[in-house]
Structure 1
């Protein structure tokens, strides 16, 4: 039960830097700060006992990874140099430089880093949450559910398979399509694709937000015979009846509801910032953390920084974005502690390895405004086409680089840009 009592003086502890969140963003930025100044006292607030490599869940759903390789005990990845508070944050009192916790205690800070991730709003789709894991209803976004996705893909020999994508922003915007392509590739290779009616229902108006990558994806849409439906938003699921309701909107803004029967439904819920962010003065109009695009410092509170999925910046919400963001936050936070100008800049980099088949990936790398930002050698990332080398990177290298590189503060291909106008 969450206590509402005010924290006494004995309940208040102080750290130089407090980080909210022990996911990819929180641990990576802690390691990057420690790399720059080992004397900084750092605390991380994270209630979870398990740390997940979430980019691997799509691969589990496609039968490529075993589920156990995508998680480790939080105690194994939490840095030994931090004070770890296994608590939930209830509120941020930025006027007092204080974070309030569910047990009634508080932490005070000189600098705060907010990296709590986002919230999957399952309840926004009527009937979806109770339907998950039964009657062919699944989601790779749900912890432990990707194995059921793979089970359904293998079992299904004919019928209708629906794949949904909610309104933006969401984490890893390509993931709803990845699940679809890997499923279709399996059905193709096992000779049942001609028996399948595959439909992609995207609440957005385009296949992918960066136009340069759309032709390659459209080629796979055609190859697999997928029926794309745009501005078609999943609003309700009846699991026992195996029916889904989509609200479609025409260019004039008129909408109508359409019920579709299915044999398999891979559903992705709408997503939002955690309540203690979206209901606070720290949020922008959309409810996301209100950060400067380049410095990742809060637009109002100069000793607060943020990164990862909670950010209101216009980049893709991916682990690859965190890889570039963590060094920027670390450099600028250390500069803030020493009353120096902020030199490091984040240019919006994000990477989305689009698994279009088992063995090939379109490696999308881009920044703010959809500007391409290739960072890997051309033999890995050959422009905007699907390659075997990109698959090798995703399937064989990135998990190891995540666990033993990024989380440890090894900033591979992640040197911060220099803010324009500064020497």
Structure 2
């Protein structure tokens, strides 16, 4: 027994000190960087086309969120838990989940280095890493979130503070900001403003509130048709719009927000606030910005019609991290995931890439808890509407589309790689007379 005990102890020590290979392969047919909407939907499509364990998704998070619903969470219309699913539950069947972060892209060598130091090689790379929030670029943040009235619907850790701010509102300025940087879901900063207007009206506080939209943008919306409708909304509801202002500092001790004038950045305007909803500056991940995949602005440099990289033919990208010249929304990703997958598979088989992206994107602009303007448009900022009605008008039916239909499509179709946008239904509803 003593001899056996000695041998077993030695074996345990030997096994403990041995260096084991990682729990995943070091090479895949396709590596997808990012497990958000784009990465999961493309992964599902490619796994079906290529077979089991040919596709890997690099994603560190345990949770996957349906972020378009956070506007409604902030207004108390939905719960945060309704927007969350475990990442393991949405990860496509047949895909290898590498639960790690991207440390470095090496497209010249067809490899991705993980944050852990391990290297993964690929034949094809899909970049779908979205954009990161940078609250810290605003002086006084993120610490100011621990003080009354400061909130943001853009993060699961701050979205509930929006409802708290509405509940605690007494009187004064309710300010909603829009930054100078590109952002995801650019309609969201004003959606919560309209819902806040309704909330304060229902609770008898609206006459004590001065609601303001302080935006770094030049106007309320980029598409003329919807801009005209939204201008009427803010006018009718006595909401002030101040354009060309970029939030640069929050002073919670005095409840002041400092904005730089874009026309003259050295000049600032300071506003007192009772409620301050912040849309933070955003940027792509450092791994993208530091790589040869990026353009001068730090976004993945892709062909606008095919989503293929301009320099590296075996690299494709979609979503918020790209320089595709359209609004960054889940609806845009819904179209891009189908087009990207088809073009990647065509390139892999040395066939022409025939799928073309026209820049379709959509922004359901909630104007109350029972009305919505459903903006849909293309690269040319021309309306590209699905339904055979004027979607520039506030409608209860469009609210139902936003609150009920789109979440169903997201969880049950888009993430499973079975939704490529409403193009077919648009043609059907317009009797084939629409794109």
TM-score (norm 2): 0.89
Residues 58, 99 of structure 2: 8 Å contact kept: yes
* C-alpha distance 223-190 of structure 1, shift in aligned 2 (>3 A): farther
Following TM superposition, by how much is the alpha carbon of 1:263 offset from its aligned partner in structure 2, in angstroms? 0.7
**Would you say 1:231 and 2:244 are equivalent positions?**
yes
**Aligned-partner Cα distance in 2 for 1:171–1:185:** 24
1:140 aligns to what? Answer: 153
**Would you say 1:398 and 2:406 are equivalent positions?**
yes
2:4 aligns to what? Answer: none
Residues 157, 192 of structure 1: 8 Å contact kept: yes
Following TM superposition, by how much is the alpha carbon of 1:128 offset from its aligned partner in structure 2, in angstroms? 1.9
Which one of the candidate residues 58, 74, 77 is aligned to 1:61? 74
1:256 aligns to what? Answer: 267
2:332 aligns to what? Answer: 321
Question: Which moves more between the two structures, 46-55 or 275-284?
Answer: 275-284
**Aligned-partner Cα distance in 1 for 2:118–2:265:** 50
**Would you say 1:346 and 2:357 are equivalent positions?**
yes
1:105 aligns to what? Answer: 118
1:378 aligns to what? Answer: 388
Matches within 5 A, 1:116-155: 116-155=129-168
Following TM superposition, by how much is the alpha carbon of 1:29 offset from its aligned partner in structure 2, in angstroms? 0.8
**Would you say 1:186 and 2:196 are equivalent positions?**
no
* C-alpha distance 254-72 of structure 1, shift in aligned 2 (>3 A): closer
Following TM superposition, by how much is the alpha carbon of 1:400 offset from its aligned partner in structure 2, in angstroms? 1.5
Which one of the candidate residues 59, 63, 66 is aligned to 1:50? 63
**Aligned-partner Cα distance in 2 for 1:311–1:349:** 15
Which one of the candidate residues 214, 231, 238 is aligned to 2:227? 214
**Structure with max Cα Rg:** 2
What per-residue deviation string (whole Å, max 9, x for no partner) do you get for residues 175-202 of structure 1? 1001111001111233321111111100
**Aligned-partner Cα distance in 2 for 1:265–1:240:** 14
* C-alpha distance 238-65 of structure 1, shift in aligned 2 (>3 A): same
Residues 134, 283 of structure 2: 8 Å contact kept: yes
Residues 30, 54 of structure 2: 8 Å contact kept: yes
1:421 aligns to what? Answer: none
Residues 235, 246 of structure 1: 8 Å contact kept: yes
1:243 aligns to what? Answer: 256
**Aligned-partner Cα distance in 2 for 1:172–1:97:** 32
2:419 aligns to what? Answer: 411
Residues 168, 204 of structure 1: 8 Å contact kept: no
1:5 aligns to what? Answer: none
Find the residue that maps to 1:83 and give its secondary structure: strand
* C-alpha distance 338-10 of structure 1, shift in aligned 2 (>3 A): farther
What per-residue deviation string (whole Å, max 9, x for no partner) do you get for residues 216-271 of structure 1? 11121112211110001100001232111011244xx4751112111110011111
Which one of the candidate residues 348, 358, 380 is aligned to 2:369? 358
**Aligned-partner Cα distance in 1 for 2:38–2:265:** 40
Question: Which moves more between the two structures, 186-195 or 302-311?
Answer: 186-195
2:344 aligns to what? Answer: 333
Residues 135, 240 of structure 1: 8 Å contact kept: no
Question: Which moves more between the two structures, 384-393 or 144-153?
Answer: 144-153
Residues 292, 299 of structure 1: 8 Å contact kept: yes
Find the residue that maps to 1:368 and give its secondary structure: coil
2:209 aligns to what? Answer: 196
**Would you say 1:291 and 2:302 are equivalent positions?**
yes
**Aligned-partner Cα distance in 2 for 1:201–1:151:** 21
1:305 aligns to what? Answer: 316
Following TM superposition, by how much is the alpha carbon of 1:277 offset from its aligned partner in structure 2, in angstroms? 0.7
Over the aligned positions, Cα root-mean-square deviation in angstroms equals 1.9
Equivalent pairs, count: 405
**Aligned-partner Cα distance in 2 for 1:35–1:392:** 32
